[in-house]
Chains A and B, each alone.
Chain A
Amino acid sequence: ILNVEQSPQSLHVQEGDSTNFTCSFPSSNFYALHWYRWETAKSPEALFVMTLNGDEKKKGRISATLNTKEGYSYLYIKGSQPEDSATYLCASNTGGFKTIFGAGTRLFVKA
């Protein structure tokens, strides 16, 4: 059984704080790791897809790293803004495009 776990479940930060959260996944048969940003009442939006061990991706103030050998990925947000408030989902697939989602980290950024 493939389990994707994210921590923390929720996070409250002040505007301007930098923050990070973790996604852990089984490292066997790894194919790709996805990060999504999901705002309330909207559909998930793809942030990053990473496939190679040591991959680092960046999009504005958001970046992510990947360690496929130990089975974890970190998502970092630099200088959090209220508009960053959302649920951040990670998802792992082992090929064949069968993607298993974690439960998400709910981020609240207070102005």
Chain B
Amino acid sequence: DAGVIQSPRHEVTEMGQEVTLRCKPISGHDYLFWYRQTMMRGLELLIYFNNNVPIDDSGMPEDRFSAKMPNASFSTLKIQPSEPRDSAVYFCASSLEAGQFFGPGTRLTVL
């Protein structure tokens, strides 16, 4: 199994641009999580899905952030418009019952 796949691995963009991060969970896993990691706040849960349905998005910082999971094998996290304070590493993770498997992360830099 290839594990959780995220793309791109690195993204550099300018303030105001739209950013889309992508995640492919491990096949068969029914939970998908988006996390953001910063030096100041550590690892924060943004949103998670169960069977493609968003269950808890209380960690999403503001309306500029949105996440979708159109099918069991794909999810996106979109930031529009992006701001410099959004610069962070964004991790996607998936799980079946217990214990989450993390992707390699996307390092986002907003200039």
Q: A49 to B97, alpha carbons, bound, how many Å? A: 10
Interface string of A23-55 (1 = CB under 8 A from B): 000000000101000000011111001010000
- When distances are taken between beta carbons in the complex, the residues of chain B under 8 Å from A42 are 104
Asked, given contacts A43-B91, A49-B98, A96-B55, whether A101 binds B43 with beta carbons under 8 Å apart, the answer is yes
Q: Assess the A43–B56 pair: CB atoms within 8 A.
A: no
Give chain A's interface residue range (CB within 8 Å of chain B): 10 to 19
Q: A96 to B98, alpha carbons, bound, how many Å? A: 11
Q: Assess the A97–B55 pair: CB atoms within 8 A.
A: yes
- When distances are taken between beta carbons in the complex, the residues of chain B under 8 Å from A98 are 45, 48, 56
Q: A49 to B99, alpha carbons, bound, how many Å? A: 6
Q: A99 to B100, alpha carbons, bound, how many Å? A: 10
A98 to chain B, nearest CB (A): 5
A17 to chain B, nearest CB (A): 26
Q: Assess the B95–A97 pair: CB atoms within 8 A.
A: yes
**Of A32, A44, A100, which is within 8 A of B102 by CB?**
A44
Residues of A at the B interface (CB closer than 8 Å) are 32, 34, 42-46, 49, 51, 89, 96-104
Residues of B at the A interface (CB closer than 8 Å) are 4, 31, 33, 42-45, 48, 50, 55-56, 91, 95, 98-105
- Which 10 pairs show the lowest CB-CB distances between chains A and B? A43-B102, A46-B99, A49-B98, A101-B43, A49-B99, A44-B102, A103-B42, A43-B104, A98-B56, A97-B31
Instruction: Name 30 A/B residue pairs within 8 A (Cβ), A-sorted.
Output: A34-B99, A34-B100, A42-B104, A43-B91, A43-B103, A43-B104, A43-B105, A44-B43, A44-B100, A44-B102, A46-B99, A46-B100, A46-B101, A49-B98, A49-B99, A51-B98, A89-B43, A96-B55, A97-B31, A97-B33, A97-B48, A97-B55, A98-B48, A99-B33, A99-B45, A100-B45, A101-B42, A101-B43, A101-B44, A101-B45
